[in-house]
Amino acid sequence: MRNMKYEITRDYINIGNSRSGQSIQDVQFIVSHDTGNPGSSAYGNRNYFENTNPSSSAHTFIDDKYILEIIPLDEKAWHVRYNVSTDNRRYGVNANDAAIAVELCYGGNISFEDAYNRYVWYHAYLVDKFNLNPDENIVGHSTLDPSRRTDPQNALNRHGVSWNDFLNDVDNAYRKYFEGEENLPEPVVGGASVELPIGKGDRGEFVRDIQKDLIKAGYSLPNYGADAIFGSETERAVMRFQRDYHLAVDGLVGQQTLGQLKEVTNSSKASNDFPLPNGILQKGDEGAEVKQVQRALKRLNFDPRYIDGIYGSLTEDAVSRFQSMFSALENDGIYGPNTKRFMEMELEDL
């Protein structure tokens, strides 16, 4: 039973850099995106890809008025970098070769609820069309390319919708509209009643996601864990995180804190690819590589206090304290190949 609740508009762009015309393999999964450009509509994006013709694309753009397919679903779209390997590890194939790319338009004058409900339904439509499993065969762009991308959580989180909320909504829509389970309620925006900032007293799956991210980032919640209740323990962890990243320390998770938290967890050991730099770093050095070392120290409970990319006295002391745990390391506060090797071993054991 297929219930076509929404019309799908097919208005394909011309063959070019954005649309190669190459045939896709058997569709094995869906990659969920957002446009990252608040206020840009489905047709606005189509016109961009048609007229500018960049070497990137997606199959479908969805706003509050259109589900707009701009590349046929039997052709490849260029939506995930070939030189990232998460898609290969997870599905055994490159996303561009075997996945449908779906973009959510949001912000500006776009009604998020209307766009989101279309986005949910269309994912359910693809699940039915390609015989996919909603829990296993839908993946966020942020999961495949965590060092560069935060979508679609970037758009979903602005409205209090967690990734689990979204997957649950897709599953319900699939069961209702394509499996015929008539007793299910109309899917609604899973967390749209939750608005940022999130703070003490809030609860729900979105709060649980924040708590999980805090734990992944090295801010433990020993008493209650990820219990979906924003209590004093969670508030204190948020404040510690804000202090470490030089944010306003108010215990509230707003756009700035949430964005920084996503950046940290996307580059953390949670992705099974904790980034530790090569070479030598020491007091006076600055930059992204210093931040990587500071994040690792934080996760290993050798708190450098600030994750600011500045190798100062506090970072030097934290490295020295870590080195003092191992007789094979010289306790000099300088990060080098031997210290890196021991840090990687300790991180693997977490």
CATH of the domain at 151: 3.40.80.10
Is residue 147 located within the same domain as residue 85? Answer: yes
For 16, residues 6+ apart whose C-beta sits below 8 A from its C-beta are 53
Higher-pLDDT residue of 30, 182: 30
The CATH number covering residue 221 comes to 1.10.101.10
Over residues 181-204, the mean pLDDT reads 70
Examine residue 140 and state whether it is found in any structural domain, yes or no. yes
Examine residue 2 and state whether it is found in any structural domain, yes or no. no
Length of the chain: 350
Query: How many Å apart are CA 261 and CA 256, to the nearest integer?
Result: 9
Examine residue 186 and state whether it is found in any structural domain, yes or no. no
Compute the half-sphere exposure of residue 257: CA atoms within 13 Å on the CB side of its CA: 25
| pLDDT reading at 269 higher than 80 | no
In single-letter form, the type of residue at position 71 comes to: I
Examine residue 46 and state whether it is found in any structural domain, yes or no. yes
Domain termination residue (choose one: 241, 269, 297): 269
Examine residue 164 and state whether it is found in any structural domain, yes or no. yes
Query: How many Å apart are CA 270 and CA 334, to the nearest integer?
Result: 26
Number of domains in the chain: 3
Domain termination residue (choose one: 245, 269, 293): 269
pLDDT bucket at 270, cuts 50 / 70 / 90: very low
| pLDDT reading at 250 higher than 50 | yes
Examine residue 200 and state whether it is found in any structural domain, yes or no. no
Is residue 97 located within the same domain as residue 23? Answer: yes
What is the pLDDT at residue 274? 53
| pLDDT reading at 234 higher than 60 | yes
Examine residue 318 and state whether it is found in any structural domain, yes or no. yes
Examine residue 198 and state whether it is found in any structural domain, yes or no. no
Residue range(s) defining the domain that contains residue 90: 8-177
| pLDDT reading at 222 higher than 70 | yes
Is residue 263 located within the same domain as residue 283? Answer: no
| pLDDT reading at 262 higher than 90 | no
Higher-pLDDT residue of 346, 102: 102
pLDDT bucket at 192, cuts 50 / 70 / 90: very low
Domain termination residue (choose one: 177, 196, 219): 177
Is residue 279 located within the same domain as residue 257? Answer: no
Over residues 72-78, the mean pLDDT reads 97
Is residue 55 located within the same domain as residue 69? Answer: yes
How large is the C-alpha radius of gyration of the chain?
A: 22
* SS3 of the chain: CCCCCCCEEECCCCCCCCCCCCECCCCCEEEEEECCCCCCCHHHHHHHHHHHCCCCCCCEEECCCCEEECCCCCECCCCCCCCCCHHHHHHCCCHHHHEEEEEECCCCCCCHHHHHHHHHHHHHHHHHHCCCCCCCCEEEHHHHCCCCCCCCHHHHHCCCCCHHHHHHHHHHHHHHHCCCCCCCCCCCCCCCCCCCCECCCCECHHHHHHHHHHHHCCCCCCCCCCCCECCHHHHHHHHHHHHHCCCCCCCCECHHHHHHHHHHHHCCHHHCCCCCCCCCECCCCECHHHHHHHHHHHHCCCCCCCCCCECCHHHHHHHHHHHCCCCCCCCCCCECHHHHHHHHHHHHCC
Query: How many Å apart are CA 288 and CA 310, to the nearest integer?
Result: 9
Is residue 282 located within the same domain as residue 312? Answer: yes
Query: How many Å apart are CA 193 and CA 55, to the nearest integer?
Result: 38
Is residue 218 located within the same domain as residue 245? Answer: yes
Is residue 37 located within the same domain as residue 85? Answer: yes
What is the pLDDT at residue 215? 87
By DSSP bridging, strand 67-69 and strand 60-62 are antiparallel
Edge to edge, what strands does the sheet with 67-69 contain? 8-10, 67-69, 60-62, 99-104, 29-34, 138-140
Is residue 130 located within the same domain as residue 213? Answer: no
Is residue 224 located within the same domain as residue 296? Answer: no
Is residue 159 located within the same domain as residue 302? Answer: no
What is the pLDDT at residue 157? 82
Candidates 103, 10, 9; CA nearest to 65 is 9
Is residue 157 located within the same domain as residue 22? Answer: yes
| pLDDT reading at 311 higher than 70 | yes
